[in-house]
Amino acid sequence: MTRRKLVAGNWKMHGTSADLDEIRAIADAAERLKGRVDVALCVPATLIHRASDAVPGFPIGGQDLHHQEKGAHTGDICAAMLHDAGASLVIVGHSERRDAHREEDEHVRAKAESGLRSGLSVILCVGESDADRSAGRAVEVVSRQLDASLPREGAAGSNFSVAYEPIWAIGTGKIPSTAEIAEMHSALRERLIAAYGAEGQSVRILYGGSVKPSNASEIFAIDDVDGALVGGASLKASDFLPIVEAAAT
Ligand code: 13P
């Protein structure tokens, strides 16, 4: 089955209104490539409103959400607030949140379900540590993580994506071999089909971790790589757009 690639930028804790011109440049290029590749930017919560106003129709997302609809949760934001600010998607379960905010699989699943229920597209992140990769248990660990974090409902189709992000590849310049990425993505595809039946074929599996203009084409050529979740190289249009173009060809 052919799945149009999705290249999403994760700006993490970078970006203020001074960066709106970068967002405009990225959205303009995405418009030119419409129909060949899907592009999105997940910016800090404080920037969502201004970014979505600056680039109407271009998908702007958040990087996390609370799984409940409202309540006494100081500092958190819920799906309705993301919608209200102009977001159309959200990342859940990024390893930086699983680690620093002690988010467990079950919690990540509740966040994914809340996002999907509200009509946001969801990118669910999974990935192994260096120790798990070295011990030869990367596929086993990530498959288990995916099984436990997968939303039980609403996940089929292009509104739900999985991002495989090996923790040791994030921000390090190191990436797994082509064979290792292929092995992992094929294992994750099997898990998606086990969970959702034939609908599991429509879920995009993105690769994330040190994706750059120099390695993007090679990564996108791997079977079952349906796009990328890009950190550092998504902050500047001049780095991000060559990656988007590689996905469009
Ligand atoms: P880098 O592209 O900076 O390695 O970050 C990857 C990532 O964590 C995206 O979510």
Q: Which domains does the chain have, with CATH numbers?
A: 6-248 (3.20.20.70)
Give me the pLDDT at residue 154, please: 75
Count CA atoms within 13 Å of residue 71 on its CB side. Answer: 7
Give me ligand 1 centre to Cα 143, in Å.
20
| Residues that are catalytic | 94, 165
Give me ligand 1 centre to Cα 231, in Å.
3
Q: Which atom of ligand 1 is nearest to the CA of 234?
A: 2
Give me ligand 1 centre to Cα 230, in Å.
5
Which residue has 């967002």 as its token pair? 23
Q: Is the CB of 63 under 6 A from ligand 1?
A: no
Residues 6+ apart with CB under 8 A from 231: 9, 10, 12, 170, 171, 208
The DSSP H or E segment spanning 25 is helix 20-32
The partner residues of 233 in beta bridges, in order of sequence, read: none
Residue 243 contacts residue 1 (beta carbons within 8 Å): no
Q: Which atom of ligand 1 is nearest to the CA of 232?
A: 3
Its pTM stands at: 0.98
Q: Is the CB of 209 under 6 A from ligand 1?
A: yes
Give helix 138-149 / helix 178-196 axis angle, nearest 10°: 30
Give me the pLDDT at residue 105, please: 97
Give helix 20-32 / helix 237-248 axis angle, nearest 10°: 20
Q: Is the CB of 166 under 6 A from ligand 1?
A: no
Backbone angles phi, psi at 197, to 5 degrees: 65, -150
In angstroms, what CA-CA distances link 41 with 4, 22, 48, 179? 17, 11, 10, 28
Q: pLDDT tens, position by position, for the chain (249 residues)? A: 789 999 999 999 999 999 999 999 999 999 999 999 999 999 999 999 999 999 999 999 999 999 999 999 999 999 999 999 999 999 999 999 999 999 999 999 999 999 999 999 999 999 999 999 999 999 999 999 999 999 998 777 789 999 999 999 999 999 999 999 999 999 999 999 999 999 999 999 999 999 999 999 999 999 999 999 999 999 999 999 999 999 999
- Residue whose Cα lies nearest atom 2 of ligand 1: it is 231
Give me the pLDDT at residue 155, please: 77
Q: Is the CB of 55 under 6 A from ligand 1?
A: no
